[in-house]
């Protein structure tokens, strides 16, 4: 009797790639070479390394999650177009049509804010109307908001060098910039899981926390007038910032997403919107996967932060309030994962824990800056 294998041996990943996949990677590589030729004079060795590390990373991301390709190409195209409109003159931000109304950093971020608000309202309309078309519109609005937000950050990066070469830096150095990053990362994480789990019904919940970030950005811009580009304080003049901060905010974004999934779970478990929301098992599984991803990146960010602290302040750990609360956040989600994986706990307790965990994370992110002082006092409101 001829024996048959129950499944075929998987092919090596690279052999599964099509010519379109390789063309996408080559396009990113060409963009990296162009950026190096044009702006390499402003880059140090670390920034050049990050540039081509980003090319490799985004190539892999586009292979793994194909819907993100148009976003990456769109960000590159719109950013380069915006940059070329300046003609090395920052004053053109308020003069050139495309900069003033679309692609200057402030204009693009304002478009991001508007699109996130519209996306949230459209997601809720889709949930109550059960309209697939309306849900697709909401997803498109969210993708558009992410496109404009990242375009704004990229153009802002160039604007910082137009102020002065020694002022130029990656735009993740103050609360205005990192709140933009938070909105973008949280939305991207949601869009990934939306496509994977078919959970468009959760968009309205997730966009609530994203739009809380939008509200902060607007308040910080119009009330505090604190959205300007400032020189980096000495402690932030480090290549560690370029990897520590994004890793940290992938963690923050994932924990925020998990909290909103938890809130949907608690509503559905009580029969509220239960017929419109995904099954409880799906929500529970999604909550676990998101927290696992967030915990991994938050762990990496904490290790990177300790290495940065050793370089900047001479010690890996000093029990600074920011460090202490980062440890509290880490322990909180380590305990959540322990109960889920080792004890097999499921259900509303973990949903409540994820929701309350957002409060702990928010205090670590923002409350420490408001009420406590320490080595991280450069992030105060």
Residue 248 falls within a domain, yes or no? no
Give the mean pLDDT of 250-254.
97
Is the confidence at residue 365, as pLDDT, over 90?
Answer: no
Full residue range of the structural domain in which residue 163 is found: 51-232
Burial 51-67 (b: 16+ CB within 10 A, else e): beebbeebbebbbeeee
Residue 69 falls within a domain, yes or no? yes
Is the confidence at residue 152, as pLDDT, over 90?
Answer: yes
Domain count, the chain: 1
**Would you state the pLDDT for residue 69?**
95
Is the confidence at residue 6, as pLDDT, over 60?
Answer: no
Q: What is the pLDDT of residues 172-201, one digit of tens each?
A: 989 999 999 999 999 999 999 999 999 999
Residue 180 falls within a domain, yes or no? yes
Looking at per-residue pLDDT, the higher value among 119 and 31 belongs to 119
Residue 32 falls within a domain, yes or no? no
Q: What is the pLDDT of residues 206-216, one digit of tens each?
A: 999 999 999 99
State the average pLDDT for the chain. Answer: 91
Residue 21 falls within a domain, yes or no? no
Residue 61 falls within a domain, yes or no? yes
**CA nearest to 220, candidates 167, 170, 183:** 183
Contacts of range 134-137, beta carbons closer than 8 Å, 24 or more positions apart: 135/200, 135/201, 135/203, 136/200
Band of the pLDDT at 372, cuts 50, 70, 90? low
Residue 343 falls within a domain, yes or no? no
**Would you state the pLDDT for residue 238?**
84
For residues 224 and 366, is the Cβ–Cβ distance under 8 A?
no
Give the mean pLDDT of 277-291.
96
Nearest-angstrom CA–CA distance, 262 and 87: 48
Interacting residues of 371 by C-beta distance below 8 A, sequence separation 6+: none
**Would you state the pLDDT for residue 381?**
62
**Would you state the pLDDT for residue 310?**
87
* Residues above pLDDT 90, as percent of the chain: 72
Band of the pLDDT at 1, cuts 50, 70, 90? very low
Residue 357 falls within a domain, yes or no? no
Give the mean pLDDT of 139-150.
98
Is the confidence at residue 380, as pLDDT, over 70?
Answer: no
**Would you state the pLDDT for residue 369?**
77
Q: What is the pLDDT of residues 331-346, one digit of tens each?
A: 999 999 999 999 889 9
Q: What is the CB neighbour count within 10 angstroms for residue 276?
A: 15
pTM of the model: 0.93
**Would you state the pLDDT for residue 180?**
97
Is the confidence at residue 96, as pLDDT, over 90?
Answer: yes
Is the confidence at residue 2, as pLDDT, over 80?
Answer: no
Is the confidence at residue 139, as pLDDT, over 70?
Answer: yes
**Would you state the pLDDT for residue 294?**
97
Is the confidence at residue 378, as pLDDT, over 80?
Answer: no
């Amino acid at each position: 009797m001829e024996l048959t294998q129950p499944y075929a041996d998987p092919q090596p990943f690279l052999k599964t790639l099509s010519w379109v996949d390789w063309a996408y990677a080559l396009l990113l590589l060409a963009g990296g070479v162009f950026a190096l030729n044009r702006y390499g004079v402003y880059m140090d060795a670390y920034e050049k390394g990050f540039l081509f590390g980003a090319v490799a990373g985004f190539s892999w991301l586009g292979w793994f999650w194909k819907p993100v390709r148009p976003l990456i190409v769109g960000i590159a195209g719109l950013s380069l177009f915006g940059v070329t409109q300046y003609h090395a003159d920052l004053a053109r931000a308020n003069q050139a049509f495309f900069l003033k109304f679309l692609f200057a950093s402030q204009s693009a971020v304002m478009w991001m804010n508007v699109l996130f608000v519209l996306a949230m309202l459209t997601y809720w309309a889709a949930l109550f109307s059960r309209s697939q078309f309306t849900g697709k519109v909401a997803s498109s609005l969210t993708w558009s908001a992410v496109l404009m937000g990242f375009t704004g950050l990229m153009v802002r990066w160039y604007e910082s060098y137009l102020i002065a070469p020694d002022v130029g830096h990656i735009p993740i150095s103050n609360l205005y910039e990192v709140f933009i990053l938070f909105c973008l990362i949280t939305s991207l994480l949601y869009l990934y899981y939306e496509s994977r789990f078919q959970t468009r019904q959760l968009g309205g919940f997730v966009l609530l926390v994203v739009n809380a970030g939008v509200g902060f950005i607007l308040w910080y811009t119009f009330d505090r007038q604190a959205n300007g580009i400032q020189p980096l304080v000495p402690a932030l003049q480090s290549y560690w910032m370029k990897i520590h901060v994004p890793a940290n905010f992938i963690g923050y974004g994932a924990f925020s997403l998990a909290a909103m999934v938890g809130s949907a779970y608690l509503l559905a478990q009580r029969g509220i919107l239960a017929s419109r929301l995904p099954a409880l098992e799906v929500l529970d599984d999604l909550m676990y996967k998101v927290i696992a991803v967030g915990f991994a990146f938050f762990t990496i960010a904490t290790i990177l932060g300790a290495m940065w602290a050793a370089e900047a302040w001479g010690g890996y750990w000093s029990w600074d309030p920011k460090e202490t609360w980062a440890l509290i956040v880490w322990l909180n989600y380590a305990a959540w994962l322990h109960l889920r994986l080792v004890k097999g706990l499921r259900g509303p307790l973990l949903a409540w824990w994820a929701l309350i965990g957002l409060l702990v994370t928010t205090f670590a992110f923002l409350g420490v800056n408001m009420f406590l002082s320490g080595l991280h006092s450069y992030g105060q409101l």
